[in-house]
């Protein structure tokens, strides 16, 4: 029994020069599900994210995002900032992209730019100090505080984002993405560089986001403990093609996947470590 | 300051307006004449543009003071020529050769000292710091020369006179002065030598490696500081040659010529694709042609506007320039 | 100690040799233009002076450095002052500026120079929105200053509008120019944007210089209307239907009144710019500017449209330049393209960068250093720009991120900052 679709990808192809990074890729990610995208380096995972979030324009294919109210948006026609704003897709980056010289709280306030902007009528109401803006700002701070609490960063709220330890920066990036109130959250290797404890905290955080917010998550990850532990569905990419999809258990048992990605059964342990 | 009209058109061909042209022969003659003039001017811009493009390629900085090095080159060459022509025993060619060498050496020293004192300490500083420092150097050099040599325009009577007349078809011919030929040939020779140096010598290899990845080059044992210094020295020497050319070609120089020439040469570098050496030369020629044809057919006052319009157009529609590699946005 | 002296002397001697070589063709020889053509006159003593000066300078710097190292003294580093001191310093400065014209040592000359410094402070604050906050490198800022000045001059001369009507109009015109110029170019990355804005600045100046019918060409526009205070004229003989300021307040006429009035006018304009910037930094647009400076790609992933945000910074910066421009026109009573050269753009940019990119007080300090100090050395007119350029280089070498580069957050958890 599949949940209603959130993101439908049909026949997506992305070429760089003569090189196909993704060819004829189709899949569906469901609402309220964690969908993991795995595959060896260079399989096209980050390219897929860049197509979904509008940083790349695919040559062919359709990307449809379904809103709960029945509205469907074609992401391939929207510029990147409109995808974030109108389609409500948020993302994090493989190499963390915070606003390093701004404070943690400011990072979260920038994420709520749209809400604050319309509340302040392009900042005019704010300039005049009208109550309407002050209320909106208070609400924004409350939402930021909520996500700071969830990610355990409350005590760092006023420090510079760039000065935080690496693991905290990763969590801050997720908090910042959540402050845009997304329907689909795309996470590009959120567990990279985390120690086992931080990694299990991350699992909890992501499950919490799925269960409490009811939004869909799309996750690129090499850390199999994260992938197998929390995802509802797993997509396996190799050379830009989808070679398998299904529940974590199905994928784990799929012979194609084992051959292409996890390696031959008897040497899987070695390759698993090597590919991470 | 009326920087716009600081380049007087010395060439006598400029006086024949296009609309006085009665027959198509005269029209063609005028057109080709402008092309020759434009190519000469373009060669000068191209030589300056090489310095911009090399420095930008290697340390990602707009060397704002590069135009002033060219201006210094013009003054040094004027002084050197006056000295050599008085002791040289009447051989113009010998005097010019000595002048060329002396100019290159002295501008190279200037380039080296500027990099060493004003830019090197700022490597790794915030992005704007070296730019501000470069603007400061530019102001210092301009005012230094103004104080040292006076603000008045320095004239030099024509050194190389005469030329050849090429008959192109039955009805028209084009005059090319010896000086124009010398300028274009010298530019070609420098370009060839330079290309050889970049592609064949170990300095050239080190330079290309540093351009691609400075940290990695340093890890592999390349003395990055020396490579950057060499880049500035070579760029300055080429700008010095351009200074000599402009002294001979226009016969008048002043302390302010570096500013506009610098901007135009930078435009040329961007037009050709910054970081690309043939691009810089091509860009220089295109800018020279535009300027010469625009002045001839439209208006001499707005020739700089035309140059800047090209710059804006190129950046909007082809930001990587004509011969540059497009850079893919890394997310 | 003695063991390390020879290398020190050697390095000083090397520097002196270089200085001599650099000076030889340009200082050592002077081009003399006479009726018979160019000739040369030698000045070897200047080369010797240059070499000697550099030798001593280099030696002294090295000795000073070693002295510092020996005694483990660090070069003075301005510590990041706590917020309240900065706040206090700001208010103290504003207060001082308010009472300055009435202080015993303040003569007309001083107030005039202070007015000049304030113009640059205001321009610096305006450009700070573009460069310091939004991180857009603009080398053609003077174009908007020129647009403001010419709009005021032309509106006032053609339609007879008063300063107070023209001021907002000039700001609007400049902002419109900012939008029109910014729209096509704001996609460009940093250095390219710099060079294109430089080009635009030059284009505007060339147009001002050549569009004789409108702008008067190189001669410029003179006889620009001076401002009045609510209809009170500052002229010795007020025009028909106006009362003079002196007569209204029962004072003896003095040309100082106008000087002081202009001083307060620019002070108010500058403070308004400052308040606006301080305020807008805490608003969504202002935060988006800073975020854009930090990481444009991240901004796009958060739904911020970089073009509109950049345009708003560009237009607002231009607007303040326009205000400053119309003040400049009314103060001088005369404008020509010569006042709007690249060197002005460079000066304003230098003020912003030297001040510490985004620091409002830093800009005041930088403007005092770069504009105020040289104003006092007007007698050494020739050396003024030389010193200005050298100061730019030296301050950058000393403090590459500017005089005051610390930043305080615009919002804090549990209360506004």
- pLDDT tens digits, B93-102: 888 999 999 9
Two structure tokens written together for B87: 């002791």
The alpha carbons of chain A give a radius of gyration, in whole angstroms, of 19
- The rounded distance, in Å, linking the Cα atoms of A53 and A83 is 6
3-state secondary structure string, B39-60?
HHHHHHHHHHHHHHHHHHHHHC
Interface of B with A in 299-328 (CB under 8 A): 328
Q: Does C306 touch chain A (CB under 8 A)?
A: yes
Mutate which of C20, C27, C191, C204 to disrupt the B interface (most B C-beta within 10 Å)?
A: C191
User: How many residues make up chain C in this entry?
Assistant: 417
C251 shares its domain with C284 = yes
C319 shares its domain with C239 = yes
Of residues A261 and A154, the one with the higher pLDDT is A154
Most confident of A171-180, B87-96, C99-108: A171-180
SS3 state at C393? helix
- The rounded distance, in Å, linking the Cα atoms of C264 and C98 is 8
Q: Does C187 touch chain A (CB under 8 A)?
A: no
| Interchain CB distance below 8 Å, A123 and C283 | yes
> For B250, phi and psi rounded to 5 degrees?
-95, -25
C55 shares its domain with C106 = no
Interface of C with B in 52-71 (CB under 8 A): none
Q: Would you say the C-alpha torsion B226, B232, B235, B238 has a positive or negative sign?
A: negative
Query: Is residue B9 over pLDDT 60?
Result: no
- The rounded distance, in Å, linking the Cα atoms of A34 and A219 is 7
**Which positions in chain A touch C315 (Cβ < 8 Å)?**
none
In this prediction, residues C296-314 reach a mean pLDDT of 92
- The rounded distance, in Å, linking the Cα atoms of A136 and A133 is 5
Two structure tokens written together for B62: 């707009």
Distance from the C139 Cα atom to the nearest Cα atom in chain A, whole angstroms = 24
Distance from the C22 Cα atom to the nearest Cα atom in chain B, whole angstroms = 6
Torsion of CA A190, A191, A193, A198, to 10 degrees: 120
C383 shares its domain with C339 = yes
Cα separations in angstroms, C309 against A81, A117, B78, B90, B231: 12, 11, 51, 66, 38
Burial per residue of A92-113, b for 16 or more beta-carbon CB atoms within 10 angstroms, e otherwise: bbeebbbbebbbbbbbbbbbbb
Two structure tokens written together for B187: 């530019």
What DSSP designation does A103 have?
Answer: B
Read off the pLDDT of residues B206-216 as tens digits, 9 standing for 90 and up.
888 888 888 88
Among C70, C96, C125, the domain boundary falls at C70
Q: Does A16 touch chain B (CB under 8 A)?
A: yes
- The rounded distance, in Å, linking the Cα atoms of C69 and C60 is 14
C192 shares its domain with C120 = yes
Asked whether residue C412 is domain-assigned, the answer is: no
Distance from the A187 Cα atom to the nearest Cα atom in chain B, whole angstroms = 13
Distance from the A127 Cα atom to the nearest Cα atom in chain C, whole angstroms = 7
First CA to last CA across chain A, in angstroms? 32
What DSSP designation does C34 have?
Answer: E
The answer to whether B161 touches B167, Cβ cutoff 8 Å, is no
E-strand spans in chain B?
A: 154-155, 163-168, 172-177, 252-253
> What single string gives the DSSP state of each residue in C114-164?
HHHHHHHHHHHHHHIIIIIIT----S-THHHHHHHHHHHHHHHHHH---HH
Asked whether residue C75 is domain-assigned, the answer is: no
Distance from the C197 Cα atom to the nearest Cα atom in chain A, whole angstroms = 26
Q: Does B329 touch chain A (CB under 8 A)?
A: yes
Q: What is the count of residue pairs from B and C with beta carbons less than 8 Å apart?
A: 182
Asked whether residue C17 is domain-assigned, the answer is: yes
Locate the chain A residue with the closest alpha carbon to C406.
Answer: A101
Q: Report the residue from C290, C298, C407 with minimal CB separation from A97.
A: C298
Q: Minimum mean pLDDT among A53-62, C73-82, C219-228: which range?
A: C73-82
Q: Report the residue from B143, B152, B329 with minimal CB separation from C385.
A: B143
Of residues B5 and C196, the one with the higher pLDDT is C196
Q: Does B300 touch chain C (CB under 8 A)?
A: no
| Interchain CB distance below 8 Å, A55 and B331 | yes
Mutate which of C397, C402, C404 to disrupt the B interface (most B C-beta within 10 Å)?
A: C397
Q: Does B121 touch chain C (CB under 8 A)?
A: yes
User: Is the ipTM beyond the 0.85 threshold?
Assistant: yes
Distance from the C197 Cα atom to the nearest Cα atom in chain B, whole angstroms = 9
**Which positions in chain B touch A93 (Cβ < 8 Å)?**
331
Of residues B125 and C275, the one with the higher pLDDT is C275
**Which positions in chain C touch A79 (Cβ < 8 Å)?**
305
C61 shares its domain with C97 = no
C325 shares its domain with C368 = yes
Mutate which of B111, B124, B140 to disrupt the C interface (most C C-beta within 10 Å)?
A: B140
**Which positions in chain A touch C410 (Cβ < 8 Å)?**
106
Locate the chain B residue with the closest alpha carbon to C391.
Answer: B136
Q: Minimum mean pLDDT among A3-7, B222-226, C230-234, C304-308: which range?
A: C230-234
The label of the residue with tokens 């060499």 reads B230
Query: Is residue B245 over pLDDT 90?
Result: yes
**Which positions in chain C touch A127 (Cβ < 8 Å)?**
276, 279-280, 283
**Which positions in chain C touch B324 (Cβ < 8 Å)?**
none
- The rounded distance, in Å, linking the Cα atoms of A15 and A4 is 30
Helix axes B257-272, C190-210, angle to 10 degrees: 130
Asked whether residue C79 is domain-assigned, the answer is: no
Locate the chain A residue with the closest alpha carbon to B330.
Answer: A55
The answer to whether B284 touches B45, Cβ cutoff 8 Å, is yes
The answer to whether A19 touches A47, Cβ cutoff 8 Å, is no
C57 shares its domain with C201 = no
- The rounded distance, in Å, linking the Cα atoms of C193 and B128 is 13
Distance from the C180 Cα atom to the nearest Cα atom in chain B, whole angstroms = 13
Of residues C376 and B113, the one with the higher pLDDT is B113
| B-contacting chains (≥3 CB pairs under 8 Å) | A, C
pLDDT of res. B30: 84
Asked whether residue C417 is domain-assigned, the answer is: no
Band of residue B7 on the pLDDT scale cut at 50, 70, 90: very low
**Domain span including residue C61:** 5-70
Band of residue B331 on the pLDDT scale cut at 50, 70, 90: low
**Which positions in chain B touch C206 (Cβ < 8 Å)?**
4, 301-302, 304-305
| Interchain CB distance below 8 Å, B331 and A46 | yes
Query: Is residue C247 over pLDDT 60?
Result: yes
The label of the residue with tokens 């000739």 reads C39
Q: Report the residue from A93, A113, A148 with minimal CB separation from C284.
A: A113
The answer to whether C277 touches C115, Cβ cutoff 8 Å, is no
Among C70, C94, C109, the domain boundary falls at C70
Asked whether residue C404 is domain-assigned, the answer is: no
Query: Is residue C261 over pLDDT 90?
Result: no
| A-contacting chains (≥3 CB pairs under 8 Å) | B, C
Q: Per 3-state DSSP, what percentage of chain C is helix, strand, and coil (rounded to 5)?
A: 70, 5, 25
**Which positions in chain C touch B106 (Cβ < 8 Å)?**
21-22, 24-25
C44 shares its domain with C97 = no
The rounded mean pLDDT for chain B is 84
Asked whether residue C411 is domain-assigned, the answer is: no
Q: Report the residue from C279, C303, C409 with minimal CB separation from A113.
A: C303
Distance from the B122 Cα atom to the nearest Cα atom in chain C, whole angstroms = 7
H or E segment at B214? helix B214-219
DSSP H helical segments within B60-156, as ranges? 66-87, 92-114, 128-149
Of residues B17 and C384, the one with the higher pLDDT is C384
Instruction: Tally the domains of chain C.
Output: 2
C259 shares its domain with C352 = yes
Q: Report the residue from C284, C295, C312 with minimal CB separation from A97.
A: C295
Q: Report the residue from C288, C290, C300 with minimal CB separation from A80.
A: C300
Among C37, C70, C103, the domain boundary falls at C70
Pairing of strands A216-220, C411-412: unpaired
Q: Minimum mean pLDDT among B280-289, C252-261, C290-299: which range?
A: C252-261
- The rounded distance, in Å, linking the Cα atoms of C216 and C39 is 39
Model confidence, pTM: 0.83
- Strand-pairing partners, residue A265, are none
| Interchain CB distance below 8 Å, B331 and A93 | yes
Interior CA angle at B168 toward B166 and B172, to 5°?
Answer: 95
Band of residue C85 on the pLDDT scale cut at 50, 70, 90: low
| Interchain CB distance below 8 Å, B308 and C199 | yes
| Interchain CB distance below 8 Å, C26 and B148 | yes
Interface of C with B in 303-342 (CB under 8 A): 338, 341-342
C60 shares its domain with C190 = no
Q: Give percent above pLDDT 90 in chain C.
A: 26
| Interchain CB distance below 8 Å, B110 and C22 | yes
pLDDT of res. B21: 44
Band of residue B8 on the pLDDT scale cut at 50, 70, 90: very low
Q: Count the neighbouring beta carbons within 10 Å of the beta carbon of residue C42.
A: 10
In this prediction, residues A237-258 reach a mean pLDDT of 86
E-strand spans in C111-192?
A: none
Q: What is the count of residue pairs from A and B with beta carbons less than 8 Å apart?
A: 6
Q: Does C134 touch chain A (CB under 8 A)?
A: no
- The rounded distance, in Å, linking the Cα atoms of B304 and B7 is 11
- The rounded distance, in Å, linking the Cα atoms of A194 and A93 is 15
Read off the pLDDT of residues A132-149 as tens digits, 9 standing for 90 and up.
888 888 899 999 999 999
The answer to whether B235 touches B56, Cβ cutoff 8 Å, is no
pLDDT of res. B32: 85
C142 shares its domain with C55 = no
């Amino acid at each position: 029994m599949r949940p209603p679709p959130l993101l439908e990808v049909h026949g997506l192809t992305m070429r760089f020069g003569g090189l196909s990074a993704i060819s004829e890729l189709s899949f569906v990610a469901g609402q309220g599900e964690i969908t993991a995208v795995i595959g060896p380096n260079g399989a096209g995972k980050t390219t897929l994210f860049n197509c979904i979030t509008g940083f790349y324009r695919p040559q062919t294919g359709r990307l449809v995002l379904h809103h709960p109210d029945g509205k469907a948006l074609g992401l391939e026609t929207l510029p990147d900032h409109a995808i974030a704003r109108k389609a409500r897709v948020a993302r994090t980056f493989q190499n963390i992209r915070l606003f390093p010289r701004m404070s943690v709280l400011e990072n979260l306030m920038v994420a709520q730019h749209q809400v604050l902007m319309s509340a302040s009528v392009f900042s005019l109401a704010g300039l005049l100090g009208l109550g309407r803006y002050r209320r909106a700002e208070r609400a924004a701070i409350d939402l930021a505080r909520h996500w700071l609490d969830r990610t355990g960063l409350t005590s760092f709220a006023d420090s510079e984002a760039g000065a935080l330890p690496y693991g905290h920066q990763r969590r801050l990036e997720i908090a910042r993405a959540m402050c845009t109130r997304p329907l689909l959250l795309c996470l590009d290797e959120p567990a990279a560089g985390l120690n086992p404890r931080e990694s299990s905290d991350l699992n909890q955080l992501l499950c919490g986001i799925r269960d409490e917010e009811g939004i869909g998550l799309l996750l690129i990850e090499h850390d199999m403990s994260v992938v197998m532990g929390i995802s509802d569905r797993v997509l396996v990419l190799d050379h830009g093609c989808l070679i398998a999809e299904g529940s974590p258990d199905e994928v784990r048992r799929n012979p194609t996947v084992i051959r292409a990605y996890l390696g031959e059964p008897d040497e899987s342990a070695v390759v698993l470590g090597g590919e991470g | 300051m009326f920087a716009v009209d600081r380049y007087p058109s010395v060439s006598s061909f400029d006086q024949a307006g296009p609309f006085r042209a009665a027959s198509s022969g005269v029209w063609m003659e005028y057109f080709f004449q402008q092309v020759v003039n434009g190519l000469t001017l373009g060669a000068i811009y191209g030589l300056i543009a090489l310095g911009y493009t090399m420095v930008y390629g290697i340390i990602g900085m707009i060397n704002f003071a590069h135009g002033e090095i060219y201006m210094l080159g013009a003054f040094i060459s004027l002084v050197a020529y006056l000295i050599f022509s008085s002791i040289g025993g009447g051989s113009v060619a010998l005097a010019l050769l000595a002048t060329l060498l002396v100019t290159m050496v002295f501008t190279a020293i200037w380039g080296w000292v500027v990099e060493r004192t004003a830019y090197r300490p700022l490597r790794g500083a915030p992005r704007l710091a070296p730019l501000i420092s470069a603007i400061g150097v530019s102001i210092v050099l301009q005012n230094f020369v103004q104080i040292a040599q006076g603000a008045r325009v320095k004239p030099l009577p024509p050194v190389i006179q005469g030329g050849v007349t090429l008959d192109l078809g039955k009805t028209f011919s084009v005059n090319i002065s010896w000086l124009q030929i010398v300028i274009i040939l010298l530019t070609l020779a420098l370009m060839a030598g330079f290309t050889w140096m970049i592609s064949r010598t170990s300095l050239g290899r080190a330079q290309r490696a540093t351009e691609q990845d400075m940290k990695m080059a340093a890890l592999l044992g390349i003395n990055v500081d020396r490579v950057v210094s060499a880049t500035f020295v070579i760029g300055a020497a080429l700008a010095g040659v351009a200074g000599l050319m402009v002294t001979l070609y226009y016969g008048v120089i002043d302390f302010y010529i570096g500013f506009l020439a610098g901007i135009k040469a930078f435009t040329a570098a961007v037009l050709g694709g910054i970081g690309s050496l043939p691009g810089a030369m091509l860009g220089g020629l295109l800018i020279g042609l535009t300027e010469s044809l625009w002045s001839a057919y439209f208006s001499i006052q707005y020739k700089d506007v035309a140059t800047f319009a090209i710059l804006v157009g190129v950046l909007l529609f082809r930001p990587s320039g004509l011969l540059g590699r497009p850079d893919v946005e890394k997310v | 100690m003695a063991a390390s002296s020879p290398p020190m002397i050697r390095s000083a001697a090397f520097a002196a040799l270089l200085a001599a070589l650099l000076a030889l063709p340009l200082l050592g020889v002077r081009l003399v233009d006479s009726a018979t053509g160019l000739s040369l006159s030698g000045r070897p003593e200047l080369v010797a002076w240059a070499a000697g000066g550099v030798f001593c300078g280099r030696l002294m710097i090295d000795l000073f450095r070693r002295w510092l190292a020996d005694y483990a003294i660090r070069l003075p580093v301005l510590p990041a002052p706590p917020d309240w001191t900065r706040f206090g310093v700001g208010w103290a400065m504003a207060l001082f500026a308010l009472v300055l014209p009435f202080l015993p040592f303040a003569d007309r000359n001083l107030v005039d120079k202070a007015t000049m410094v304030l113009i640059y402070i205001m321009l610096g604050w305006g450009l700070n929105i573009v460069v310091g906050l939004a991180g857009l490198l603009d080398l053609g800022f003077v174009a908007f200053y020129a647009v403001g000045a010419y709009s005021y001059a032309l509106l006032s001369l053609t339609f007879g509008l008063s300063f107070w009507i023209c001021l907002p109009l000039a700001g609007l015109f400049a902002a419109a120019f900012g939008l029109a110029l910014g729209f096509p170019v704001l996609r460009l990355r940093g250095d390219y944007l710099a060079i294109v804005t430089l080009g635009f600045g030059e284009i505007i100046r060339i147009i001002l210089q050549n569009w004789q019918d409108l702008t008067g060409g190189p001669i410029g526009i003179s006889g620009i209307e001076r401002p009045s205070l609510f209809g009170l004229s500052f002229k010795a003989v007020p025009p028909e239907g106006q009362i003079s300021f002196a007569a209204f307040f029962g004072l003896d006429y003095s040309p100082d009144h106008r000087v002081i009035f202009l001083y307060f006018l620019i002070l108010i304009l500058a403070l308004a710019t400052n308040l606006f910037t301080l305020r807008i930094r805490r608003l969504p647009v202002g935060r988006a500017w800073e975020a854009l400076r930090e990481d444009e790609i991240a901004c796009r992933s958060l739904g911020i449209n970089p073009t509109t945000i950049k345009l708003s910074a560009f237009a607002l910066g231009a607007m303040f330049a326009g205000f400053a421009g119309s003040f400049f026109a009314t103060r001088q009573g005369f404008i020509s393209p010569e006042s709007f050269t690249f060197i002005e753009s460079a000066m304003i940019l230098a003020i912003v960068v030297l001040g510490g990119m985004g620091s409002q007080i830093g800009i005041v300090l930088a403007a005092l250093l770069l504009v105020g100090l040289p104003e006092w050395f007007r007698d050494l007119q020739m050396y003024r720009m030389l010193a200005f350029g050298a100061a730019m280089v030296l301050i950058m070498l000393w403090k590459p991120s500017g005089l005051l580069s610390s930043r305080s957050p615009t919002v804090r958890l549990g209360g506004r900052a």
